[in-house]
Amino acid sequence: MKKTFKEKVYELCDAIPKGKVATYGQLAKLAGQPKAARAVGAFMRMNPDAPNTPCHRVVSAKGALTGYSGQGGVAGKKKLLLKEGISFKGSLVELSVSQWKK
């Protein structure tokens, strides 16, 4: 059975290793719909398998920590990412260091 775009996005999100992040656009492109970054954001917001599906590892194209519906909101997301070793430059994830290369 063919996977839906949503299923592909969650599968890709599951594959982001600890200590790395992906962008919404990156996941959209990898899942076959490069212009669907906003849809990826909506999927992360509705993540039915949090925290097993690590939606906290998905950030904006500039490395900003946009919305997070998990405990502590965006501050909680940053705390989780710091704990996993993600590099920040100010309030942004340093994508040149921490972005997942898939």
Active-site residue list: 55
β partners of residue 59: 23
Cβ atoms of residues 34 and 73 within 8 Å: no
Rounded to 5°, the CA angle 94-100-102 comes to: 150
Q: How far apart are the first and last CA of the chain?
A: 24
β partners of residue 21: 99
